Each structure stands twice: as structure tokens, then as C-alpha cells.
Amino acid sequence: MAYGKVTDRELESIRGIVGSERMSMGESILDLHGKDESFHRKRRPEVVIWPLHAQEIGEILKIANERRIPVTPWGAGTSLEGNPIPVEGGIVLDLQRMNHILSLMEEDLQVCVEAGVIYKELNQYLSRYGLFFPPDPGAAATIGGMVGNNASGIRTIKYGATKDFVLNMTIVLPSGEIVRAGSNAIKSSSGYDLCRLFVGSEGTLGVITEITLRLVGLPAEFMAAVVQFNSIREATDAVSQIMRSGLRPAALEFLDIPTVQVVNRYKNLSLEETPTLFIEFHGISGEGLKEDLEWVKEICAEHRYLRFDSGIGREQRNRLWEARYEVHDSIKVNHPGLSPLVIDTAVPISKYPDIVDWGQKVLKKRGLKGYAFGHAGSGNLHMEIMGIPEEEAQWQKVLEAGEEIVSFALECGGTATGEHGIGIGKRKFMKREHGDSLKLMKQIKDLLDPNGIMNPGKIFE
Ligand SMILES: Cc1cc2nc3c(=O)[nH]c(=O)nc-3n(C[C@H](O)[C@H](O)[C@H](O)COP(=O)(O)OP(=O)(O)OC[C@H]3O[C@@H](n4cnc5c(N)ncnc54)[C@H](O)[C@@H]3O)c2cc1C
């Protein structure tokens, strides 16, 4: 489909809507909005706009829709799959100035925010009221971007992903129409669940401007453990047993040996360089958590742990978990000039040991350098396979390794992406993962966005 360009005529109309200070065609601004945190090729938009209201977005979308100009919503650009890269140019709508917390409904455990609010700042604000929003992708993501990708992170096993927290939202459709989906009830059987349709839609169906989120109470007490094993199999078998035991960890993370090594170096730590689990529990008292701790220790002992370091309380938790954060940065710093292909498969928990094992075999067979870690408790395996995207033959090997790992995950009944979204990089797996229902997804896209202006080149090939 041929797209229209942003000409002087459109720029004049846009200026009339937002004024010249909230739009830019400056080189550095276009560059900043032409890339995310992935290896995918940069592509500059033609203009970046910072709207303040749904009405402004509606007027801009009307113009874009009439003239078939691509529009890509932008949160903080921290995606790992090229999700916000405007591959067809056009307009980027940067939502970062729509960053107000609109209302806190403390007694209902709900908050209504504009899409550009950074979730870490939201949690800082909520902590004053003893509340929090649990999905935690680590990077400085916006709520709109988290809804766009259905982000989750380390606490999904206990609390759920972003989709589990969205109660209602305001959306500007490609036609410019503003609609509201959902309600303030925490349960509802009322018709199609349109909120869930927009969660994970990666900006391909419309622009989300306001979101009401369900919240939970801040945990009163924390318990954490770092458990080190002789082999990957023992560590991952322990994961699957902990999850089957009825225990409810708030986080259960796995790091393989190269990942522990790289984190040790980057953060100047002295962890044993063996396969490692990071475990966290939330509870109402230290006493209750002690029982959980004993139980976890017993399970890990059955899998012959090498070292078991644990503690109760927030400070102990922070001490023990120091190594888990910044894994991505540790790897990046350790490989100047190289980029990672980021694997984000998720499988049923019983298959977790198999997918980790398979990933290691694929790397070995192809002689590639890679790191395996992830949100093991929710069956989510990340691997970062290192290479140079510009060196075609070598990068092809990296891509083939990625395909082999994702294919195995799909055979296990899993998914190509547990939390990063499809973006550009995972489109090739859509048919295999969804079969005939992919056609239904395309029909929904065509119904809502018949001119294909919203974030083209994503999700579908
Ligand atoms: C170091 C690092 C670690 C990470 N760890 C995790 C992790 O553990 N778990 C995890 O889930 N993710 C993780 N991520 C990925 C990333 O942070 C998330 O995908 C996050 O949700 C992206 O948010 P963002 O605000 O940067 O959105 P962007 O990257 O700007 O956009 C994301 C997508 O949503 C669309 N979008 C943005 N705003 C809107 C809107 N208002 N309306 C409609 N569509 C919109 C965009 O077009 C794009 O398709 C990590 C990233 C980094 C760099």
C-alpha cells in the first residue's frame, strides 16, 4: 500500500492543532524517534508531535487517515522488538507529555492515568498510599507502552501481566473517533472485551490516551533467596517443582553461567558462577514467610543445591537481588560493537527445563555466544544471542538459531513472545503460532484501520 507523505499542507494543518512548539522535524528528534532498544534498522519519521489531549490526537488522525499517512504512537521507545520504529516514516505521536495521574480511587484500589505516565513514577506516587501497580519491565516504560506491548516482567507469576490490570481505557481510533472501553468493575461479563483487544495491539489499532488500572496493596514483608546449582537441569527442575508445590513466589528468575559471569563483572559481585535462581516471596508477616522459605529450601535440596543464601525483610531482598537487575546492560557493556537477538519465548512450566536445555544445545551446535535468563516461574525464557546485524552471513546464523529456539517453544505449546510483543522481529512466527486465527486478527485490523495507517509493518508480515 502506498503511503502519503507529510507535506507543507499537512504540517500547516498540524501546526494549527498543536502549535509549532509541540511538533518537530529536528534531526536529533527524528533520530531519537527512529529507533528503540532493538537491533532493528532505524527509520526516521517525518515529523514528531507531542499531543496533550485525545481531541488533538483525533484531529491529527483524521488528517492522517484522509491522506494515508502512517502514524506510530510512541511511549518511551524502550521496546526490544522494533515495536515503535516508524518503518514507513510519517507521523510519530509521542505521548510523553500526557503524563498526568488523573485520579486515585484509593478505596477501590484503582488509578486513572494518562498514557505517558512512567510506571516507576506511578509506583512512587502510589507507595504513599500503600498501593502499587505490579507489572515491572525494568526499563523506564510508559503505561501506554506497557499496554501496547502487554508488558510484564519479574512479578507476573504472582500478580499477572499488564492485561490483568487494565479496567478501562480511552482510545482514539484511526478515524479520529474517541471511544471508551471497559468499566470500573473488577469483573464483568458484558459483551466483547474490547480492553483486552487493545492490550498488546502495539499501536496498530488506535492511540490509547487514558487508562484506569487495578492496583494491589504493597506487601508488608519480603523474603528472598539466591540459590545456586551444579547444573542447569537441576536449577530448572527445581523451578518447575516449586511452581507445582502450591507455593506462590512473587518472582522466580533463572540465570545461566555466562549471565552470572557477566553480571559479576559489571556489578563487581562475587556470586558463584553456576546456574542460579533468584526467588522472592511477599507476605503479611516474617513468620509466614519463614515457612515458605523452609519449603523452598527443601525442594532445592532435592535438586542438590550448591549454595542457598536467603533473608527476610526489604533490605535483605535488595541485597540478594542486586545481581538480577541490569542483566541486559551487563551484556551490552561486555560486548561493545555487538548487538543481541533477544529471544522471549514462553512455554508451559513443565517444559521450562526442556526449552532452556534446547537453547543451550542450539548455541553450542552453531558456535554462538549467548546468554540465557528469564522469568522462569512464568515459563518465560530470554536469550540474548550476540552478533553483528550488518555482517549478513554471521547474523544469518544468529537468526537461524533464534528460529530453532522459537520453533521448539511452539512445538511445546508455547509462544514466540511472552512479553516483548511481535514488533518486526517475531512476525515470521505468527502464522505458525496462530494458524487460521491470524486471518481473524487481520480482519479486525482491517475493520478498525481500513487504510492501514496505524503503526504499519508491525505484527503482520
Ligand atoms: C533493559 C530492558 C529490560 C526490559 N525488560 C522487560 C521485561 O522484563 N518485561 C517486559 O515486558 N518488557 C521489558 N522490556 C521492554 C519494554 O520496556 C516494554 O515493552 C515496555 O512496555 C515498552 O514501553 P515504552 O513506553 O517504552 O513503549 P514504546 O517502546 O514506546 O512502545 C511500545 C509499543 O506500544 C505502542 N504504544 C506506545 N504508546 C501507546 C499508546 N499510548 N497507545 C497505543 N499504542 C502505544 C508503540 O507504538 C509500540 O508498538 C525491557 C526493555 C529494556 C530496554
Considering only residues 322 and 18, tell me which one the structure prediction assigns the higher pLDDT. Answer: 18
| 228-240 tens-digit pLDDT | 999 999 999 999 9
Q: Is 152 in the pocket of ligand 1 (CB under 6 A)?
A: yes
**Percent of the chain clearing pLDDT 70 (strictly above):** 100
Whole-number Cα distances in Å, 133 to 16, 97, 103, 125, 199: 38, 21, 15, 11, 16
For the stretch 357-395, pLDDT in tens is 999 999 999 999 999 999 999 999 999 999 999 999 999
Ligand 1 contact, 115 CB (< 6 A): yes
Name the residue with cell 495491539.
Answer: 201
The answer on pLDDT for 71 being more than 80 is yes
Residue 440 amino acid letter: L
At 1 the pLDDT is: 65
Q: Which whole number is the average pLDDT over 156-179?
A: 98
Atom 18 of ligand 1 has which residue's CA nearest to it?
A: 79
Give the nearest ligand 1 atom to 154 CA.
Answer: 8
pLDDT digits (tens, 9 = 90+) for 431-456: 999 999 999 999 999 999 999 999 99
User: In this predicted structure, what is the pLDDT of residue 324?
Assistant: 87
Contacts of 161 (CB under 8 A, 6+ apart): 135, 150, 151, 152, 419
Q: In what order do the strands lie in the sheet with 251-255?
A: 305-312, 221-229, 276-283, 251-255, 370-374, 380-387, 339-346
178-182, strands of its sheet edge to edge: 101-105, 110-114, 207-214, 166-172, 178-182
Q: What is the mean pLDDT of the segment spanning 127-144?
A: 96
70 lines ligand 1 (CB under 6 A): no
45 lines ligand 1 (CB under 6 A): no
Specify whether the CB–CB gap between 167 and 213 falls below 8 A: yes
> pLDDT, tens digit, for every residue of 378-388?
999 999 999 99
Query: Can you tell me which atom of ligand 1 is nearest the CA of 115?
Result: 41
Distance CA 61, CA 416 (A): 31
Q: Is the CB of 30 under 6 A from ligand 1?
A: no
Query: How, if at all, do strands 47-49 and 71-74 pair?
Result: unpaired
Residue nearest to atom 32 of ligand 1 (CA): 145
Atom of ligand 1 nearest to the CA of 327: 1
**To the nearest whole number, what is the mean pLDDT of the chain?**
96
Distance 252 CA to ligand 1 centre (A): 22
B/e letters for 375-393, b = 16+ CB within 10 Å, e = fewer, are bbbbbbbbbbbbbebeeee
**pLDDT at residue 323 is higher than 90:** no
How far away, in angstroms, is 96 Cα from ligand 1 center?
13
Ligand 1 centre to CA of 117 (Å) is: 12
pLDDT of residue 325: 83
Ligand 1 neighbourhood includes 150 CB (under 6 angstroms): no
Phi-psi region at 254: left, alpha or beta (left = phi > 0; alpha = psi -120 to 50): beta
* 8 Å CB contact between 282 and 349: no
Q: Is the CB of 174 under 6 A from ligand 1?
A: no
Q: Are 6 and 69 in contact (CB under 8 A)?
A: yes
Q: Closest Cα to atom 16, ligand 1: which residue?
A: 79
Specify the pTM. 0.97
pLDDT digits (tens, 9 = 90+) for 44-70: 999 999 999 999 999 999 999 999 999
What stretches of 400-449 adopt beta strand conformation (E)? none
Number of helices followed by number of strands (H, E) in the chain: 16, 18
pLDDT tens-digit profile of 279-301? 999 999 999 999 999 999 999 99
- Which atom, in ligand 1's list, is nearest to the CA of 423? 49
Q: Judge whether 216 and 110 are in contact, CB under 8 Å.
A: no
Whether the CB-CB separation of 427 and 398 falls below 8 Å is answered with: no
d(CA 409, CA 351): 9
Candidate of 50, 149, 454 to mutate for ligand 1, largest count of ligand atoms within 8 Å of Cβ: 149
CA distances from 150 to 33, 83, 156, 173, 184 (A): 21, 12, 11, 19, 20
Minimum-distance ligand 1 atom for the alpha carbon of 75: 30
Cell output for 347: 512455554
